[in-house]
């Protein structure tokens, strides 16, 4: 059965991790996979997470199954984190939230849910979007199409073109929107643009499907949720997937959530039963540890405050690195204007380089980044920023 198998190329993002590890250049820089790194280049366990883990260790007295939808305490507290207290109360039983194995698990679960109730539904994703959206949604059977989003030449959102395409989306379509900190381009919709999208979604009836993977890494927890909360107040039906990988630093614990908003309590109950059955058929139930940690943090005032502070530091450091990189490139008098990096949000921005230029950065300078020239800004630090700016300046000049 396995004799004729051919090997697949490495994943375009995860493959960089192995290539970086194998590189013996002491100056190597990892700007590939989207994990936060501190000034020392490590991805720390947050102090609030450590504290929650030690509490769990001493208080948890059972490892019995939890069930396909996960922990109620996680689902309730994550819903409030995503939608805010007031809106969560307002949505009431129209909203259901499920614990999922990371944001990826949530995306796939949602795609399987749509495929089950309306096979072959169309989902419009931004051009560009995160590479893994395509297998996560498409392999479930959804038909993927794109809408224009980012102009790589002007480093701005192609909003008019985006709206012109979305104007043709209707009640049988889903539209995937990045809640904040767009991956890969870092360019987010303004409040006015979100308002226009919400009005159009309500008028045309397409279902907004929000991927909220970087909540709190842009402008703040409430600011980053502005668009999705506006949509949730405006449209009758909606899907939101959130990840706790980045904002809680829980990457390997696979912790995320899927929220579905329907028009009635009865529809939500029906949706919940479908989603639980799908989860049971794929992975039975989500892993517990990360979700227990998140619930512990969000339900305890002291831990919550500590986590808020740590997340603020992460956000501020990323924003400062963006400014520092722009300054460092300006100081090298590169012809290109990189100031857009300072305007963009979250971990990622495109440098705007060709694949050949990216390859030169990798092979000649050991600077690792995705072929699209997406960089993880959090991989920069005070010790590597000059080397990085020199490398970029050399590559764009040659
Ligand atoms: C990324 O885009 O680098 C992250 O979301 C990690 C991943 O799984 O690709």
230-248 residue pLDDT tens: 999 999 999 999 999 999 9
- Residue of 28, 30, 130, 224 marked catalytic: 130
Q: Confirm whether 130 is a catalytic residue.
A: yes
Residue 136 Cβ inside 6 Å of ligand 1? The answer reads no
Domain 15-45+303-397 part of CATH 3.90.1150.10: yes
Produce one character per residue of 168-187: b if its CB has 16 or more CB atoms within 10 Å, e if not: ebeeebbbbbbbbbbbbbbb
Question: How far, in Å, is the centroid of ligand 1 from the Cα of 213?
Answer: 10
Atom of ligand 1 nearest to the CA of 103: 5
Percent of the chain with pLDDT over 70: 100
The CATH code of the domain at 65-299 is 3.40.640.10
* pLDDT above 90 (res 312): yes
Q: What is the mean pLDDT of residues 38-49?
A: 97
Where exactly does CATH 3.40.640.10 map onto the chain? 65-299
Of all protein residues, the one whose alpha carbon is nearest to atom 4 of ligand 1 is 34
Q: Confirm whether 307 is a catalytic residue.
A: no
Q: Confirm whether 211 is a catalytic residue.
A: yes
More confident call, 120 vs 331: 331
Atom of ligand 1 nearest to the CA of 13: 9
Where exactly does CATH 3.90.1150.10 map onto the chain? 15-45+303-397
Q: What is the mean pLDDT of residues 307-336?
A: 97
Nearest to 183 by CA among 230, 220, 160, 150: 150
Residue 33 Cβ inside 6 Å of ligand 1? The answer reads yes
* pLDDT-based confidence at residue 297 (cuts at 50, 70, 90): very high
Evaluated on CA atoms 326, 31, 148, 221, the torsion sign reads negative
Model confidence pLDDT, tens digit, residues 338-378: 999 999 999 999 999 999 999 999 999 999 999 999 999 99
Q: Which residue has the tokens 């059977």?
A: 141
* pLDDT-based confidence at residue 257 (cuts at 50, 70, 90): very high
Predicted pLDDT at 398: 85
- Assigned token pair, 79: 């819903």
ipTM of the complex: 0.96
């Amino acid at each position: 059965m396995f004799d004729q198998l051919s090997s697949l190329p490495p994943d375009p993002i995860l493959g960089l991790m192995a290539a970086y590890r194998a590189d013996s250049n002491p100056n190597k820089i990892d700007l590939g996979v989207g994990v936060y790194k501190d000034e020392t280049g490590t991805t720390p366990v947050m102090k609030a997470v450590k504290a929650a883990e030690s509490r769990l260790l001493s208080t948890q007295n059972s490892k019995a199954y939890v069930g396909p939808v996960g922990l109620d305490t996680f689902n309730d507290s994550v819903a409030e984190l995503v939608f805010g207290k007031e809106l969560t109360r307002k949505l009431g039983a129209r909203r259901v939230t499920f614990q999922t194995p990371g944001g990826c698990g949530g995306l796939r679960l949602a795609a399987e849910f749509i495929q089950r109730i309306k096979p072959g539904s169309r989902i419009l994703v931004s051009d560009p979007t995160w590479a893994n959206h395509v297998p996560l949604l498409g392999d479930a059977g959804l038909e993927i199409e794109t809408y224009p989003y980012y102009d790589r030449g002007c480093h701005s959102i192609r909003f008019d073109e985006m709206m012109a395409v979305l104007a043709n989306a209707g009640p049988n379509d889903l539209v995937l929107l990045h809640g904040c900190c767009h991956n890969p381009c870092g360019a987010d919709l303004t409040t006015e643009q979100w308002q226009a999208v919400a009005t159009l979604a309500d008028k045309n009836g397409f279902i907004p499907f929000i991927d909220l993977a970087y909540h709190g890494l842009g402008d703040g927890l409430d600011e980053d949720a502005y668009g999705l909360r506006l949509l949730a107040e405006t449209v009758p039906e909606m899907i939101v997937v959130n990840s706790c990988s980045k904002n809680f630093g829980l990457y390997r614990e696979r912790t995320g959530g899927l929220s579905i908003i329907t028009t009635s309590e009865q529809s939500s109950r029906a949706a919940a039963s479908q989603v639980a059955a799908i989860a049971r058929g794929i992975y039975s139930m989500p892993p517990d540890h990360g979700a227990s940690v998140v619930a512990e943090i969000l339900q305890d005032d002291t831990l919550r405050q500590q986590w808020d502070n740590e997340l603020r530091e992460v956000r501020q450091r990323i924003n400062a690195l963006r400014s520092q990189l722009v300054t460092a490139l300006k100081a090298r008098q590169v012809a290109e204007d990189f100031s857009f990096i300072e305007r963009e949000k979250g971990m990622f921005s495109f440098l705007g380089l060709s694949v050949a230029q990216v390859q030169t950065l990798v092979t000649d300078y050991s600077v690792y980044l995705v072929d699209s020239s997406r960089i993880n800004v959090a991989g920069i630090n005070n010790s590597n920023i000059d080397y990085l700016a020199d490398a970029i300046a050399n590559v764009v000049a040659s």
